[in-house]
Amino acid sequence: MTPKAMLIDITKCIGCRQCEAACKEAHGLPPQEEPVLSATALTVVQEREGKFVRRMCMHCDEPACASACLVGALQKTPEGPVTYDPKKCIGCRYCMVACPYQVPKYEWSHRVPYVKKCDMCAERVAAGKPTVCAEACPVGATIFGTKEEILREAKMRLQSDPAYVRRIYGIEEAGGASVFYLSDVPFEKLGFPNPPDTPLPTYTQAALNDIPTVVIVGGAMLSSLYWITKRREAVAAAEAAERAEKERR
């Protein structure tokens, strides 16, 4: 499988936010604009230093979120996207702590909450289609292709225009990613974090090894209690229905 990638060129973004709108429509999210990433905004365009800066999941080559997940709800796919399976999630939120980009968000207001993050349109990518955000961009500020093509294009732009910062953000950060950025303003001034070049699972695994067994056992107990509670509710509902049926007779 050929890995895919995206390039976001901050110098070209005009702030139209069509990427935001396309993402929300594709994922069935509320259409209103939001200033920061949230459970209902998987990508946002922020104004920093006179620039329009798009933020989203970096889809790391060795994602810290996936390494911190105890149940494998987060996975890096061969095509590039880091996907999330809500059926596996136990709500521990370790992924939120582990991510150096503060991308995963939690549905705090939902009775049955899930973690939400950009999935890089994984189903479309697997079918050979571009992400909806890249397809919606009218000026080529976001482009999609094979990782080899995207990196070649990024390097060509750097060589052809000295106004760019001499850096492709995402090549080395946290061990590399599937989303890359170009800018003519230093990334630090635009609010980008500066994680180590070492893949972060190296650190998250060490941290997880230090988690007391009682935390893991406690999580299992809470899951069991939740199942028991739901089972009791189901039994009570069945008994009530049976009593109602007898009364009708």
Strand 82-84 with 142-146, pairing: unpaired
The pTM (predicted TM-score) of the whole model is 0.80
The whole-angstrom separation of Cα 48 and Cα 43 is 15
Q: Where are the domains of the chain?
A: 4-207, 212-248
Q: What burial letters (b/e) apply to 183-210, b meaning 16+ CB within 10 Å?
A: bebebeebebeebeeebbbebbeeebee
Which residues are CB-neighbours of 76 under 8 A, at least 6 positions away? 59, 60, 61, 62, 63, 66, 82
Give the pLDDT of the chain (249 residues) as one tens digit per residue.
799 999 999 999 999 999 999 999 999 999 999 999 999 999 999 999 999 999 999 999 999 999 999 999 999 999 999 999 999 999 999 999 999 999 999 999 888 899 999 999 999 999 999 999 999 999 999 999 999 999 999 999 999 999 999 999 999 999 999 999 999 999 999 999 998 887 877 665 555 555 555 455 555 555 544 444 555 555 556 556 555 655 665
Q: Is residue 62 helix, strand or coil?
A: coil
The closest alpha carbon to 133, from 12, 13, 36, 18, belongs to 18
CATH, range 4-207: 3.30.70.20
The per-residue pLDDT for 211 is 54
CA distances in angstroms from 108 to 91, 93, 115, 133, listed in the order given: 11, 11, 9, 26
The per-residue pLDDT for 212 is 57
The pair of structure tokens assigned to 17 is 């936010």
The closest alpha carbon to 139, from 8, 6, 4, 49, belongs to 8
Which region holds residue 94: left if phi is over 0, alpha if psi is between -120 and 50, else beta?
alpha
Which residues are CB-neighbours of 102 under 8 A, at least 6 positions away? 37, 96
What residue type is assigned to position 118 of the chain? C
